[in-house]
Amino acid sequence: MWRPSQLPELAGRLKSSGVSLDPARLTDLTSHPMNAVISLGGCTASFVSPDGLAITNHHCANGSIQFNSTADRNLLETGFTARSRSEELPAAPGTRISVTVAVTDVTGPVHRGLAAGLSGRQRYQAIEDRKKELIAACEEDPGHRCRVAAYHGGLEYELIKQLEIRDVRLVHAPAGAIGNYGGDIDNWMWPRHTGDYSFYRAYVGPDGKPADRDAANVPYRPRHHLKVSTRGLKEGDAVLVAGYPGSTSRHKTAAEAEDAFEWLYPTRTRVNRRTIELVARLTEGLPDAAIKYATVVSGLSNTLKNNEGMLAGYERSTLLRTKQELERGLRRWIEADPEHRGRHLPALDELGSLAARERRFRERTFFFGEVARRGALFSAARTLVRLAEERRSPDAAREPGYQDRDVGRIRDRLSRMERTFDAAVDRGLWRQAILDYAALPADQRVAAFDEWFGIKAEGGAPEGLDARLDGMYAATRLGAKEARLALMEATAESLAADQDPFIRLAVALLPADRALEEEQKEQDGRMEAARAGAMGALASYLLAQGRPLYPDANGTLRVTYGTVKGYRPRDGVSYLPFTGLTGLLQKETGKDPFNSPLALLEAVRAAGSSRFSDPALGTVPVNFLSDVDSTGGNSGSPTLDGRGELAGLLFDGNWESMTSSWEYQPDVKRAIHVDIRYVLWVMEHVHGAGELLRELGVESSSSSPSASSR
Amino acid sequence: MWRPSQLPELAGRLKSSGVSLDPARLTDLTSHPMNAVISLGGCTASFVSPDGLAITNHHCANGSIQFNSTADRNLLETGFTARSRSEELPAAPGTRISVTVAVTDVTGPVHRGLAAGLSGRQRYQAIEDRKKELIAACEEDPGHRCRVAAYHGGLEYELIKQLEIRDVRLVHAPAGAIGNYGGDIDNWMWPRHTGDYSFYRAYVGPDGKPADRDAANVPYRPRHHLKVSTRGLKEGDAVLVAGYPGSTSRHKTAAEAEDAFEWLYPTRTRVNRRTIELVARLTEGLPDAAIKYATVVSGLSNTLKNNEGMLAGYERSTLLRTKQELERGLRRWIEADPEHRGRHLPALDELGSLAARERRFRERTFFFGEVARRGALFSAARTLVRLAEERRSPDAAREPGYQDRDVGRIRDRLSRMERTFDAAVDRGLWRQAILDYAALPADQRVAAFDEWFGIKAEGGAPEGLDARLDGMYAATRLGAKEARLALMEATAESLAADQDPFIRLAVALLPADRALEEEQKEQDGRMEAARAGAMGALASYLLAQGRPLYPDANGTLRVTYGTVKGYRPRDGVSYLPFTGLTGLLQKETGKDPFNSPLALLEAVRAAGSSRFSDPALGTVPVNFLSDVDSTGGNSGSPTLDGRGELAGLLFDGNWESMTSSWEYQPDVKRAIHVDIRYVLWVMEHVHGAGELLRELGVESSSSSPSASSR
């Protein structure tokens, strides 16, 4: 996951792997192809036409498909194809397309003159203030969103400037039984047969600047877009993937890894499994509620399977041992040199004790976090109360997330809730989260919250919980979108007097929230220094051995390259790098999640002769494997061939490398891509999206049958 | 599954596949290597030393290992290694080693002068009489056992003469967690890591002739034995497998296939699954009883998984369609020629109506069969009563199975029962079989049996069944071996007056048994003519197209050849042809069936440097795949390399070709072999069987550690 600026150093490696693109070109974010690679926040997409058409994964557009679905017109099931631009549907509120336009090193300005004797809290504030200044200055350019990203936990900082397009529309999504073929069973698995793609279009005001959704808006014309290649890849071909990987923990310590694998993942696995069952029970026989919680469930299922895979992988892996050995080596290297000792040892020791402190409160962090995550009304009330509270201060002094620049996002969130909230389900999920929380020891709980529900010092389910919840859900007005949005304008004083039970609870929690936050800032300020110090030591140690170091993923634009390649999941078994339509038919059971639309099955029978068939494979290729490095956030990333043309979309990792957020294992780490030839075949033969094919520059075929389903 | 006599016709194909052995040599059953390939009845073995040492599968020696096991000294668990010849253990009663010494075509004598107008019953008798005569003449040579085998259902007959060695001893078996590694989970599966081998030794009298077990006996000195090869096979190498495949249905009709897949296999699957559960329940907490029924359970589990695989394979396969097309083609070919019409059509039609008749009584056949199979006392009583009854006639007129030549086998069976019989378990299994039978419609039941238990015309569980069974099991003396053996001498008259309830039931059933048998003989006599006629037609039809035809397996010595080769079980997945010790470690869970002995785990750690390692694989090879044709009965067959040396043992088929008893599918039909290098490694490193290695002609290694377990 190289920073684009690192690519020229890797020129030799890139060339020998078959990439003919000039690496220097990849460092220019305003030029082709990097300028076409865009972020959806949590997913990647890319422009593929001069009219702002963007391709990403089906699972990345899931929220928008769901947002436009009802029990009667379930686009998750049928898919959707706009026959004209006027038919394009609004993406889910909050959907944004971000184009990175500039990246500037701001390590100097962020760290300038930080005194050595600062407390954690002071250090945190100093850095926060500088970041806010940089962002504010950057965002004076209208239509742009900026952030200061930390690399190596704070060893370096970059100011990232992105054009932020906020009128995004859904253009085409395949049927769910194509876009999510294999569902949870096949998720993270090879062999795979998933058509995980969808299309958005970016719209801007008539002046070409980002604008709120409006009928007068026009398609955005990106400076560059990717060219779709129909040549096709084959085993051993070079591929290049550019995208926005979210977060990895490759450089975390052995102690942190141990805590994650021995506590966090097992706990989350247990809780998520139960939450999924609970949603199923609460939405049984209620198709509207089921649609509302479909995205939550698919997210939970995905995390669940990921964490199960991580735990299974951890059992087999030498991850912990490798980290421990690296740390022993690093310590020996430091201790061998008095100068290193003085400079690096304190940071390493501090990092260890800070991580130990985090472990001490891990139950509160996770289970009180669940209370917030599972209660949408509770969460909305806290946001509203906090927003009013922050507004007492001038904008620059407000907490990040509650500044004027954030108000639009808060509005989107409170508005989007409309489509993902059902009072009975919310009550059921929140109740379970409260019960879990109440079972914690007292030192892991929050007194003000306990007091509200009458949770006793010794913990356990409070008496009268159900009556209390019934009362709260009956009396609140936060279930109504209008009420939530109206409360965004309320003052702190009026909220303090508000009788809405959720608002009252949020107000009562405010001092505790603040206190916890202060604690966290002290911790974070110290952690920033310690982590940066430890990473600096590690970088020097590895440099001394001639080993390169790339920063952990942090949601910034990265480039990874590799080759199309299968792997050996276990003794006696080899996974081949391509799957095809013939194999899809072999999986077909007619039952979810292996229930292709009839139109697909009919089209497969004629597919032998399709222009998208691969001659070597003898059928239309569906998915392929490569050894590029990737993680969550890379979903939807364009997979470029050696010439920089679009050959597929990255959409998943593989089961055998679930621990890859902690280590890259070249023998089993693979990314799973949907072959662009399958995307084009589905568009042409199943969904009759000929107009879009033309927009992609793919000539329509005379042999193309007429569209039969949408 | 070629008859050895067919091999010279295949010389070109054999040579081009890499077999350097002269095919003509393979036709001489008295010469190397065929003379070394021996039958255990249901399994194959081969001589591997001049002193009668024979190698076969662990699962083929299972009965003998079990026979020598007790709860205190469970050889199924620990394995067994005789440190000297005096420590060798008696094989289970009835274990015989048969060496084929002559095969003679006797089609002429069997069919000579059979009148066209004979009834089925008459035709059956005529053929039976001639077979008996041929066998009696053949067996005048002492120590030999002969049979007349039908090919193509009676189109041809061969007289097979075998030297029958009846003093067989268990020499060495690995620990069950090696010999049956992966258990039912891995059974029929690839990738595989099973050390499925064991050693027997054949003993004869001091005169070199077969003799009953006796301390004075000496090891049999076979004319030829196989040489063990440590060179090792690699992908693409030719292999040749000689053995005694039991039974295939490649040439059965579409209607017969349909009946098997739509009724018999689903029924048997359901019943066997329940029987396995019932044995588990009945033997819970009773280790002695569990050991007694271990072989029954492993047989049932094996059949169950096989049939499940067949049903899954049938779903995917075109078996039925292919057979129907072949039959349509055959009919068209016959109908196009008046001469063919007159000759072949009647046989085809007759075959169809005979098969329909079998289907009509399939429930009785199966479920009354279960009553006999699941009740050991019932079965013993019927054998005893029938034996006495047959003895009223002169030997030559007796029913096959009850002639003087069969008495030794009956004695073995009644004696062996001692180790496989527990009254409470027998009662439980028999009771369930009776209940299933009683649920059949009246026309599928046997009146005399119904009368005994008071099963009413409308069927269903008879009143007082449990009391009746309790009474029978309390009163019988057949649970005692001495009583059973003593009753072998009883006359029909004395048995008619016997008060043992099982004897009384068997006597009461005698007329019904006879009547059913007469019906069956009529059917069989007609079937012999019809099947032979239909096969003759098919042979002519295929010959006209230049397609060869080999007879279905019938327990006679056959040769199959092919190459070491993986396969693609499904889209995107390739199975590699070898597994190794490293992969075994990856499977290890420490829990049954993946719980290798500690000695093996310790030895694996040092195995990188073993002389039995494969350089390309980087570890000791464990199992490998080839595309040779095989079926049940082939288990234990020697796998010869192109030079005719022993490179492994065939021990299983693969899941994807479970339907292979009905059709050979070259793309997925594979045999699974244990690599002889793994056998030698286990003997040397795990079980310290150095003396045996020397007997095999494998020099002992100076690096070999001392034995650590037995």
| B430: its two tokens | 């028999």
Any B CB within 8 A of A318 CB: no
CB contact under 8 A, A579 and B586: no
Of B316, B573, B586, the CB nearest to A571: B586
Using CA of residue A404, residue A408, residue A409, residue A410, what is the dihedral sign? Answer: positive
Closest CA to A407 of A481, A399, A214: A399
Q: What is the DSSP letter of B252?
A: S
Identify the residue among A571, A654, A674, A675 best suited for mutation to test binding to B, counting B beta carbons within 10 A and taking the highest.
Answer: A571
pLDDT band at B707 (very low <50, low <70, confident <90, very high): very low
CB contact under 8 A, A574 and B571: no
CB contact under 8 A, A575 and B578: no
pLDDT at B560: 95
Could you give the CA distance from residue A85 to residue A74 in angstroms, rounded to a whole number? 21
pLDDT in tens, A671-702: 999 999 999 999 999 999 999 999 999 986 65
pLDDT in tens, B25-76: 999 888 999 999 999 999 999 999 999 999 999 999 999 999 999 889 999 9
Any B CB within 8 A of A313 CB: no
* Distance (Å) from the alpha carbon of A57 to chain B's nearest alpha carbon: 22
Could you give the CA distance from residue B691 to residue B586 in angstroms, rounded to a whole number? 31
Q: Which of residues 545-574 of B touch A (CB under 8 A)?
A: 568, 570-574
Of A572, A576, A584, the CB nearest to B191: A572
Q: What is the DSSP letter of A33?
A: T
Closest CA to B380 of B282, B293, B298, B485: B485
Any A CB within 8 A of B431 CB: no
Distance of CA B26 to CAs A149, A363, B39, B605, Å? 77, 74, 17, 42
Residues paired with A102 in a beta bridge = A161
Distance of CA B464 to CAs A31, A183, B453, Å? 90, 54, 9
pLDDT value at B352 more than 90:
yes
Could you give the CA distance from residue A257 to residue A263 in angstroms, rounded to a whole number? 10
Could you give the CA distance from residue A146 to residue B293 in angstroms, rounded to a whole number? 74
- Residues in chain A predicted with pLDDT less than 50, given as ranges, are 703-710
Any B CB within 8 A of A582 CB: yes
Any B CB within 8 A of A583 CB: yes
Could you give the CA distance from residue A16 to residue A4 in angstroms, rounded to a whole number? 18
Query: Are A528 and A535 spatial neighbours (Cβ–Cβ below 8 Å)?
Result: no
Q: Which residues of A625-644 are buried (b: 16+ CB within 10 A; e: fewer)?
A: bbbbbbbbbbbbbbbbbbbb
Of B191, B316, B623, the CB nearest to A573: B191
pLDDT value at B233 more than 90:
yes
Could you give the CA distance from residue A391 to residue A406 in angstroms, rounded to a whole number? 12
Query: Are A70 and A291 spatial neighbours (Cβ–Cβ below 8 Å)?
Result: yes
Any B CB within 8 A of A620 CB: no
Could you give the CA distance from residue A381 to residue A473 in angstroms, rounded to a whole number? 13
pLDDT in tens, B171-193: 999 999 999 999 989 999 999 99
Query: Are B637 and B630 spatial neighbours (Cβ–Cβ below 8 Å)?
Result: yes
Q: In chain B, which residues have their Cβ closer than 8 Å to the Cβ of A574?
A: 573-576
Q: In chain B, which residues have their Cβ closer than 8 Å to the Cβ of A190?
A: 572
Q: In chain B, which residues have their Cβ closer than 8 Å to the Cβ of A572?
A: 190-192, 575-576, 578-579, 583, 623
pLDDT in tens, A102-142: 999 999 999 988 888 899 999 999 999 999 999 999 999 99
Q: Does the bond joining A33 to the residue before it have cis omega, within 30 degrees of 0?
A: yes
Q: Interior CA angle at B81 toward B75 and B84, to 5°?
A: 135
Q: In chain A, which residues have their Cβ closer than 8 Å to the Cβ of B190?
A: 572
User: Residues with Cβ < 8 Å from B482, sequence gap 6 or more?
Assistant: none
Could you give the CA distance from residue A653 to residue A623 in angstroms, rounded to a whole number? 12
Distance of CA A395 to CAs A99, A121, A390, A392, A486, Å? 26, 20, 8, 9, 20
Element (H, E) at B559: strand B558-563
Of A570, A574, A583, the CB nearest to B570: A583
Q: Would you please indicate which residues of A are annotated as catalytic (active-site) residues?
A: 59, 196, 635
* Distance (Å) from the alpha carbon of A137 to chain B's nearest alpha carbon: 52
Give the residue on A whose Cα is nearest the Cα of B570: A583
pLDDT at A700: 67
Of A191, A573, A579, the CB nearest to B575: A573
Identify the residue among B571, B578, B589, B667 best suited for mutation to test binding to A, counting A beta carbons within 10 A and taking the highest.
Answer: B571
Could you give the CA distance from residue A651 to residue A671 in angstroms, rounded to a whole number? 8
Query: Are B533 and B473 spatial neighbours (Cβ–Cβ below 8 Å)?
Result: no
Distance of CA B241 to CAs B296, B642, B657, Å? 28, 11, 18
Of A568, A574, A586, the CB nearest to B570: A586
Give the residue on B whose Cα is nearest the Cα of A316: B586
CB contact under 8 A, A576 and B572: yes
* Distance (Å) from the alpha carbon of B573 to chain A's nearest alpha carbon: 5
Q: State yes or no: ipTM above 0.90.
A: no
Q: What is the DSSP letter of B263?
A: I
Could you give the CA distance from residue A24 to residue A27 in angstroms, rounded to a whole number? 5
Q: Which of residues 180-219 of A touch B (CB under 8 A)?
A: 190-193
CA B298 to chain centre: 13
Q: Which of helix, strand or coil describes residue B487?
A: helix
Q: Which of helix, strand or coil describes residue A303?
A: helix
pLDDT in tens, B394-420: 999 999 999 999 999 999 999 989 889
Could you give the CA distance from residue B302 to residue B655 in angstroms, rounded to a whole number? 12
pLDDT value at B705 more than 70:
no
User: Residues with Cβ < 8 Å from A471, sequence gap 6 or more?
Assistant: A501
Helices within B477-593 (DSSP H only) = 481-487, 492-496, 501-544, 581-587
Residues paired with A508 in a beta bridge = none
CB contact under 8 A, B570 and A576: no
Residues paired with A262 in a beta bridge = none
Q: Would you please indicate which residues of B are annotated as catalytic (active-site) residues?
A: 59, 196, 635
| B116: its two tokens | 């066209």
Query: Are B640 and B33 spatial neighbours (Cβ–Cβ below 8 Å)?
Result: yes
* Distance (Å) from the alpha carbon of B176 to chain A's nearest alpha carbon: 22
Of B192, B572, B584, the CB nearest to A191: B572
Could you give the CA distance from residue A309 to residue A98 in angstroms, rounded to a whole number? 32
Any A CB within 8 A of B314 CB: no
* Distance (Å) from the alpha carbon of A583 to chain B's nearest alpha carbon: 5
Could you give the CA distance from residue B459 to residue A487 in angstroms, rounded to a whole number? 76
* Distance (Å) from the alpha carbon of B580 to chain A's nearest alpha carbon: 7
pLDDT at A710: 33
Any A CB within 8 A of B315 CB: no
Q: How many Cβ atoms are within 10 Å of B516's Cβ, its own excluded?
A: 16
Q: In chain B, which residues have their Cβ closer than 8 Å to the Cβ of A623?
A: 572
Could you give the CA distance from residue B15 to residue B7 in angstroms, rounded to a whole number? 11
pLDDT band at B709 (very low <50, low <70, confident <90, very high): very low
Query: Are A188 and A651 spatial neighbours (Cβ–Cβ below 8 Å)?
Result: no
Closest CA to B162 of B22, B297, B41: B41
CB contact under 8 A, B572 and A586: no
Q: In chain B, which residues have their Cβ closer than 8 Å to the Cβ of A576?
A: 568, 572-574
Q: What is the DSSP letter of A479?
A: T
Q: In chain B, which residues have their Cβ closer than 8 Å to the Cβ of A582?
A: 571
pLDDT at A608: 59
Closest CA to A413 of A93, A65, A66: A93
Q: In chain A, which residues have their Cβ closer than 8 Å to the Cβ of B575?
A: 572-574
Closest CA to B97 of B204, B255, B206, B191: B204
Could you give the CA distance from residue A81 to residue A507 in angstroms, rounded to a whole number? 46
* Distance (Å) from the alpha carbon of B620 to chain A's nearest alpha carbon: 12
User: Residues with Cβ < 8 Å from B226, sequence gap 6 or more?
Assistant: B32, B33, B36, B46, B47, B48, B638, B640, B644, B645, B646
Task: Compute φ and ψ for A528, nearest 5 degrees.
Answer: -55, -45
* Distance (Å) from the alpha carbon of B673 to chain A's nearest alpha carbon: 13
Task: Answer left, alpha or beta for residue B559, where phi above 0 means left and psi between -120 and 50 means alpha.
Answer: beta
Q: How many CB pairs under 8 A join A and B?
A: 61
Q: Interior CA angle at B391 toward B385 and B396, to 5°?
A: 130
CB contact under 8 A, B570 and A190: no
pLDDT at A216: 97
Q: In chain A, which residues have their Cβ closer than 8 Å to the Cβ of B576?
A: 568, 572-574
* Distance (Å) from the alpha carbon of B650 to chain A's nearest alpha carbon: 17
Could you give the CA distance from residue A18 to residue A13 in angstroms, rounded to a whole number? 9
Residues paired with A242 in a beta bridge = A559
Q: In chain A, which residues have their Cβ closer than 8 Å to the Cβ of B580?
A: 571
Closest CA to B584 of B594, B573, B569, B570: B594
CB contact under 8 A, A572 and B578: yes
Q: In chain A, which residues have their Cβ closer than 8 Å to the Cβ of B579?
A: 571-572
pLDDT at B701: 65
